[in-house]
Amino acid sequence: MEPSPRLGDVDLAGLFDEIITKTDRREAFSQVKEAKVGFSALDDMKALREEFLAAETELDLWFALVKLSNVRRDKHLKVIPVEGGLMHPEGQPCVSAPIRVLPEILDVQNPTFFVATVEEGAGAPQVGDVIEGVNGQSMKEHIDEASPFIRHSTLPDLYWDVARFLPRRLSGFPLSFYSERLHLDLKRPSGERYAVSLPYNDGCPYFSDVLRLTHPYAGFDRVMKRENFHLRIDRDREILLLIWLNFDPEHLIENVVDLVAYAEEQRMLDWDMVIDVTYSGGGTWGAYVVQRLVDQPFRPTFNNVRLSDQGKRLIERYAARSPRTGHPEIEGLDLSHRWLIDWARTDAREAIDRGDEWTEPVPLRLTHLPKDSDGILQPASVHFAGKKAIINAWTRGGSHLDQFVAMFVDNDLATFLGVPTGGYSNPYEGEEDLHFPGTSRPVARFMWTLGHTLRPNGEVLEGNPAQPDRYIPLTRENFSSHHRSLLEEAIAILGE
């Protein structure tokens, strides 16, 4: 990378104050998240003032902005490059040392990190060895130094990314964060301590391969493969295994229609079901999926909007829309946006006119229920009716997945086993291109969360995911069988 240009005569104090003022006015702070972690997002941002003002080059300021954004502990919020803006380090090739690492989170304040796989060229490290130090730092020091550059909403979510990133050299961290080789201090199960220096090789293998090595689905035949999920079955025990992958709306409706039609044709709608969300990510329309997986009425997730300048603009954009045409009527799902537009033109505008700070909660984005509904969704006319269990082997997925799991847990629709989801979910984000004060010179794009996603139990979801009925974490001793054990535990519970 070329040397970073110097900033020259710019008003960093004015830029910092502008960001703090706009954050104070716009951000939908999650008080439950701040209480759980024990921090104040706004106070922690203000504490970075001197470091921000000390930036001398464009890269210095870029990383100062990243830290300023990430200190809010919101995985959705990031700093985005803009044309003509600050030099940034993105796009550098990823390299990785020949090991992969997993976290053991028995105590959320004191995680342990251990070697999960060893590849050719790794030398002395063995699977199960504990990592006690990285590049001359203790693990606690390494976490403290890495966390400002890792977007996260909960501590377990942070630790999974610390583990995932530890063997890698990434452009999202300052060059000073790394050495030419990865130096580790390790401890074997016997108590023997030793040190190694590992090379960085081109490429970064998929982190999920660590768990896929355990072959958790042996004995279940795959009968359907779709973009959003895979379906496997155990005919002897009459159990459906739904491996959920994402809520990408491009194919979700047609895929779920196929799922229900297949189960109806094969007379499987009454079978018990395990839903594995370990590999899932975000998207939308999770309540549509839940409607077809359960046989009871349930309360979906809700949202509100903080009526800042950006929140008001969001509402006015919706109010100015026209309903979408050409979309088929789908049971329990409004793809025309009529409900959302009606809310923006009535209740939301009235809240603005009254000078309210927040809108009243409504069903999430008015997608599945209108604003004047009773807030309860009924099962689809054709739906699964067996008992449900949800398993999650690692704290990585979140966003709409957080909502999906919360709908099951808060409505008592399934038994949840394993570890919580990532806890990063909000309904709307706003962004703005920053400029150096008094100039047209662009800096970067900064983001804010504009409202809260509310769980069915009424709690703010951001930083507050639904907790498992049985917390069964991955450990050094069980990681090679952990995923399979969760599946067997879920099957046992369904059989009780």
- Length of the chain as a residue count: 496
CA distance 55 to 359: 39
- What token pair was written down for 143? 């976490």
4: pLDDT strictly greater than 60: yes
Q: Give mean pLDDT, residues 129-136.
A: 97
Whether the CB-CB separation of 70 and 437 falls below 8 Å is answered with no
What pLDDT was estimated at residue 328?
63
Chain-centroid distance, C-alpha 425:
7
The domain ranges of the chain are 12-90+428-451, 95-202, 211-295+383-425+461-495, 302-366
For the chain, the helix, strand and coil percentages under 3-state DSSP, each to the nearest 5: 30, 20, 45
Q: Give mean pLDDT, residues 410-417.
A: 98
Q: Give mean pLDDT, residues 426-430.
A: 95
CATH level 3 topology of 95-202: Pdz3 Domain (2.30.42)
Whether the CB-CB separation of 358 and 454 falls below 8 Å is answered with no
- What token pair was written down for 39? 């921090």
- pLDDT averaged over the chain? 94
213: pLDDT strictly greater than 60: no
Q: What is the per-residue pLDDT across 349-403, written as a single tens digit (0 to 9) for each?
A: 999 999 999 999 999 999 999 999 999 999 999 999 999 999 999 888 999 999 9
Chain-centroid distance, C-alpha 77:
11
**Of 430, 299, 300, 425, nearest in space to 33 by CA:** 425
Whether the CB-CB separation of 152 and 108 falls below 8 Å is answered with no
Helix (H) or strand (E) holding 430: strand 429-435
What pLDDT was estimated at residue 461?
98
- What token pair was written down for 364? 């999430």
* pLDDT band at residue 206 under the 50/70/90 scheme: low
113: pLDDT strictly greater than 60: yes
* pLDDT band at residue 5 under the 50/70/90 scheme: confident
Residue 356: CB atoms within 10 A of its CB come to 13
212: pLDDT strictly greater than 60: no
Q: Give mean pLDDT, residues 77-90.
A: 93
What pLDDT was estimated at residue 214?
62
210: pLDDT strictly greater than 70: no
* pLDDT band at residue 13 under the 50/70/90 scheme: very high
Q: What is the per-residue pLDDT across 310-355, written as a single tens digit (0 to 9) for each?
A: 999 999 999 999 998 876 667 778 889 999 999 999 999 999 999 9
CA distance 404 to 425: 11
Interaxial angle between packed helices 58-70 and 12-26, expressed in degrees from 0 to 180 and rounded to the nearest 10: 20
* pLDDT band at residue 94 under the 50/70/90 scheme: confident
Residue carrying structure tokens 């079955």: 233
CA distance 145 to 292: 45
Whether the CB-CB separation of 368 and 332 falls below 8 Å is answered with yes
Over the range 292-323, which residues count as b (16 or more CB within 10 Å of their CB) and which as e?
bbbeeebbbbbbbbbbbebbbebbeebbeeee
209: pLDDT strictly greater than 70: no
309: pLDDT strictly greater than 80: yes
What pLDDT was estimated at residue 347?
98
Whether the CB-CB separation of 161 and 150 falls below 8 Å is answered with yes
CA distance 448 to 43: 16
Q: Going by C-beta distance under 8 Å and a sequence separation of 6 or more, which residues neighbour residue 104? A: 111, 112, 113, 114, 473, 474, 475, 476
What pLDDT was estimated at residue 395?
85
What pLDDT was estimated at residue 283?
93
CA distance 486 to 396: 16
Taken in order 433, 66, 52, 109, the sign of the CA dihedral is positive
What pLDDT was estimated at residue 329?
63
Whether the CB-CB separation of 427 and 364 falls below 8 Å is answered with yes
CA distance 483 to 304: 36
445 burial (CB, 10 Å; 0-12 / 13-18 / 19+) is: middle
What pLDDT was estimated at residue 1?
59
**Single pTM value for the model:** 0.94
478: pLDDT strictly greater than 70: yes
- What token pair was written down for 319? 């109010």
What pLDDT was estimated at residue 121?
67
Helix (H) or strand (E) holding 16: helix 12-26
By three-state DSSP, how is residue 473 classified?
Answer: coil
pLDDT above 70 covers a percentage of the chain that reads: 96
CATH level 3 topology of 211-295+383-425+461-495: 2-enoyl-CoA Hydratase; Chain A, domain 1 (3.90.226)
Whether the CB-CB separation of 454 and 410 falls below 8 Å is answered with no
Whether the CB-CB separation of 261 and 272 falls below 8 Å is answered with no
Whether the CB-CB separation of 291 and 377 falls below 8 Å is answered with yes
Q: What is the per-residue pLDDT across 184-199, written as a single tens digit (0 to 9) for each?
A: 999 999 999 999 999 9
